[in-house]
């Protein structure tokens, strides 16, 4: 969804495909790293995949709390490739990187539009898609490709050439086994589910799943969002929770895994640590949340949901689960492996934005006690190195890892301001 326009990770992009027709594409701000994709492909080439014709299981990688899997794509020209896909239960259109679409002979089939991350894109002819030998149905799914031919990644900042959305997932039983690092798709009714069953309502058209969470004695609707790195919540609700529970840890500035967009508005987004959240019979402890402007979830996102939502339950929570989703039946089966950690945002307090050319721009600095956590760094500075590691051209996930560590540890930063390079020392703080 349209995070470059509205300050949230995703918001519906809408463009005309013909009279009375609309399509939407979800959004993420990340950075291209083609070499790392090639490494991932090589690593997966030796992985063990399994398929029965009714279900298929592949190795799953989790980076920056997001899910990536290998799928086989056969193009209009008959060429076949194993491609790394980002799996997003909050997205709505299959998408490919520009060079891959060209290599597979996927021809433009409609007018250009501005896609995720302000990426110029266009609809393309549909390829054949399969997982470990099992065909994936794309009959009623729109397909697009980036127009940029310089980066192999589907969206700037994410190390993947393909994007698998909810409009595909909704027709299957899907298992995100985060602890076991496997991903399964199955024809409805062909697998035995396991775990604690909780209700999950699915919007028929978008495929977006809604779950209910209990916070401080109240029940709220949340989108189930495997594509987002960090759980988001309406600013109105967060401000109310902070006002009613001032002892709950909170801070200003979307840092670490909560740094999903990196534009200036993220500097003013709040972080909150909720001591306990009820998800069906399970208790989620020390759950971190990042705010989004009031109305984004309540109005924009809720339009594509089965019922209103105030937030999105995302990867920082889901990564601790074997998440078994029976989309057709509207049930989620949960097995929790471990609780979330209050240290998941222990990092240097920079809010960063990565650009298509690989440069890493400082949008702002987190605040602590009314003062910037990193003295001397200004919005607009270009981050060049962290502890000697070059970050230009690296993925956002890699950069955030370099900025993370034990509270109190010092990190040496090299930045460029206009034509001048400077070195600065920054401290790792706990957030919120």
How does DSSP assign 323-335, residue by residue? EEEETTTTEEEEE
Task: Please tell me the distance from the alpha carbon of residue 260 to that of residue 256, in angstroms, as a whole number.
Answer: 8
Q: Tell me, what DSSP letter sits at residue 139? A: T
Query: Do the Cβ atoms of 328 and 276 come closer than 8 Å?
Result: no
**CATH architecture group of domain 196-336:** Beta Barrel (2.40)
Higher pLDDT, 27 or 116: 116
Pick the CATH number of 350-427 from 2.30.42.10, 1.10.3720.10, 3.40.50.1110, 3.40.50.150: 2.30.42.10
Average pLDDT of span 22-33? 35
Residue 325, pLDDT above cutoff 90: yes
Residue-wise pLDDT for 89-132, tens only, equals 999 899 999 999 999 999 999 999 987 667 789 999 999 999 99
Task: Please tell me the distance from the alpha carbon of residue 108 to that of residue 149, in angstroms, as a whole number.
Answer: 14
Average pLDDT of span 297-304? 97
Q: Indicate if 196-336 has the same CATH topology as 15-166+180-186.
A: yes
Q: In the chain, what are the domain boundaries?
A: 15-166+180-186, 196-336, 350-427
Q: In this structure, which long-range contacts are made by residues 193-196, counting pairs with CB atoms below 8 Å and at least 24 apart in sequence?
A: 193/324, 193/326, 193/331, 193/333, 194/322, 194/324, 194/333, 194/335, 195/322, 195/324, 195/333, 195/334, 195/335, 196/280, 196/281, 196/282, 196/333, 196/334, 196/335
Task: Please tell me the distance from the alpha carbon of residue 25 to that of residue 4, in angstroms, as a whole number.
Answer: 12
Burial class (CB in 10 A: 0-12, 13-18, 19+), 390: exposed
Residue-wise pLDDT for 210-258, tens only, equals 999 999 999 999 999 999 999 999 999 999 999 999 999 999 999 999 9
CB atoms within 10 A of CB 314: 30
Q: What is the pTM of this model?
A: 0.88
Task: Please tell me the distance from the alpha carbon of residue 398 to that of residue 250, in angstroms, as a whole number.
Answer: 25
How does DSSP assign 195-259, residue by residue? SEEEE-EE-TTT--EEEEEEETTEEEEEEE-TT-SS-EEEHHHHHHHHHH-TTS-EEES--GGG-
pLDDT band at 276 (very low <50, low <70, confident <90, very high): very high
pLDDT of residue 177: 98
Q: Which residues pair with 220 in a beta bridge?
A: 213
Q: CATH says 15-166+180-186 is which class? A: mainly beta
What the block records as the tokens of 93 is 């259109």
Query: Do the Cβ atoms of 360 and 392 come closer than 8 Å?
Result: yes
């Amino acid at each position: 969804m349209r995070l470059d326009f509205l300050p949230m990770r995703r918001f519906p992009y809408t463009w005309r495909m013909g009279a009375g027709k609309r399509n939407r594409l979800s959004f993420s701000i990340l950075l291209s790293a083609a070499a790392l994709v090639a490494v991932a492909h090589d690593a997966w080439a030796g992985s063990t995949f399994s398929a029965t014709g009714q279900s298929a299981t592949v190795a799953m990688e989790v980076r920056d709390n997001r899910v990536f899997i290998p799928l086989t794509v056969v193009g209009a020209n008959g060429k076949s490739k194993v491609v790394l896909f980002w799996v997003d239960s909050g997205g709505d259109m299959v998408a490919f990187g520009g060079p891959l679409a060209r290599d597979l002979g996927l021809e433009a089939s409609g007018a250009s539009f501005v896609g995720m991350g302000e990426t110029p894109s266009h609809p393309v002819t549909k390829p054949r898609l399969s997982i470990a030998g099992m065909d994936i149905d794309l009959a009623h799914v729109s397909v697009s490709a980036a127009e940029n031919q310089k980066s192999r990644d589907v969206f700037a900042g994410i190390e993947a050439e393909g994007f698998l959305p909810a409009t595909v997932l909704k027709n299957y039983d899907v298992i995100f086994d985060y602890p076991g690092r496997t991903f399964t798709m199955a024809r409805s009714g062909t697998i035995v589910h396991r775990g604690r069953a909780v209700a999950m309502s699915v919007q028929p058209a978008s495929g977006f799943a809604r779950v209910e969470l209990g916070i401080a004695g109240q029940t709220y609707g949340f989108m189930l969002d495997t594509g987002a790195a960090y759980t988001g919540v309406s600013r109105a609700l967060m401000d109310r929770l902070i006002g009613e529970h001032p002892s709950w840890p909170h801070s200003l500035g979307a840092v670490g895994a909560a740094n999903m967009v990196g534009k200036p508005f993220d500097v003013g987004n709040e972080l909150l640590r909720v001591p306990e959240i009820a998800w069906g019979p399970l208790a989620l402890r020390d759950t971190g949340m990042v705010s989004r402007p009031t109305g984004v979830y309540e109005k924009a996102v809720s339009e594509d949901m089965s019922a209103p939502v105030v937030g999105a339950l995302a990867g920082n929570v889901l990564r601790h689960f074997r998440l078994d989703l029976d989309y057709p039946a509207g049930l989620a089966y949960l097995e929790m492996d471990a609780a979330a950690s209050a240290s998941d945002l222990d990092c240097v307090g920079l809010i960063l934005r990565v650009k298509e050319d690989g440069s890493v721009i400082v949008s702002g600095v987190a605040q602590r006690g009314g003062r910037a956590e990193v003295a001397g760094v200004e919005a607009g500075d270009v981050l060049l190195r962290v502890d000697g590691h070059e970050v230009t051209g690296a993925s956002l996930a890699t950069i955030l890892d370099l900025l993370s560590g034990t509270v109190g540890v010092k990190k040496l930063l090299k930045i460029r301001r206009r034509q001048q390079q400077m070195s600065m020392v920054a401290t790792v703080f706990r957030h919120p």
